Structure 1
Amino acid sequence: MTKYQFVWNDRLGISLPTLELQWDDYTDAERLAIVEQWETIRGAIPDRIIALEQLIRVQQARLYDEEDFEASCLLNFDIAELASQINDLHIWYRINQEIESRRHS
């Protein structure tokens, strides 16, 4: 029985770890497998951030030309959501540092 899995997150565009146990309760082999799989996923995060930043630039250009107030509000909402996704991706990217520090302690 697998005590962990990686589940696709549509909002962030990456798979996220779902751990059933505390980190220290996994065997060394399980921790290594988790870290290796996470490193592969984590490696895609910078490209995902770049793609979202490009979408923000497109939305900002549309906002600059938008004259309708309601449409401007929707564009601002979309931009804020994209920025929130970027922020969450940065947080997940830093997760590796926490895993690594636990693994070496």
Structure 2
Amino acid sequence: MPFFRYDERLGIPVPRLAKEWEMYSAEEQFAILTEWEEIRGRIPDRIMAFERLIIEMQERLGLEDSFDESCRLNGEISELASRVNDLNIWFRTG
């Protein structure tokens, strides 16, 4: 059973453990931690990519005259900010 599943929303694999941590053998724990550290190392790049998109959308929002389009952009910015928050939580997990 794989220990990680790809999260489309975040753009990284996240842990998917089938049992309590203590139930894994030392070798399995080592393998899980090794893979997680490799994944975790990519999180800052994902955060920066989302932050760049947020900045682009904020710039577009500043020029937008349409209320409906402004609302749509605000919703997208909020979703991207939520992803950044979730990635920061995953980054601190480890």
Please state whether the residue corresponding to 2:3 is helix, strand or coil.
strand
Task: Report the TM-score when normalising by structure 1.
Answer: 0.87
The one-character-per-residue Cα deviations of 1:65-85 (angstroms, maximum 9, x if unpaired) are: 000000000000000000000
- By relative contact order (CA 8 Å, sep 6+), the higher-ranking structure is 2
1:57 paired with 2:55, answer: yes
Aligned-CA RMSD value:
0.7
Gap regions ≥5 residues in structure 2: none
Q: Percent identity?
A: 49
Residue 89 of structure 1 aligns with which residue? 87
Q: Which runs of 5+ in 1 are unaligned?
A: 97-105
Q: Secondary structure of the equivalent of 2:15?
A: strand
Q: For this pair of structures, how many residues does the alignment match?
A: 94
Letter in 2 for 1:38: W
Normalization by structure 2: what TM-score? 0.97
Matched with 1:47 is: 45
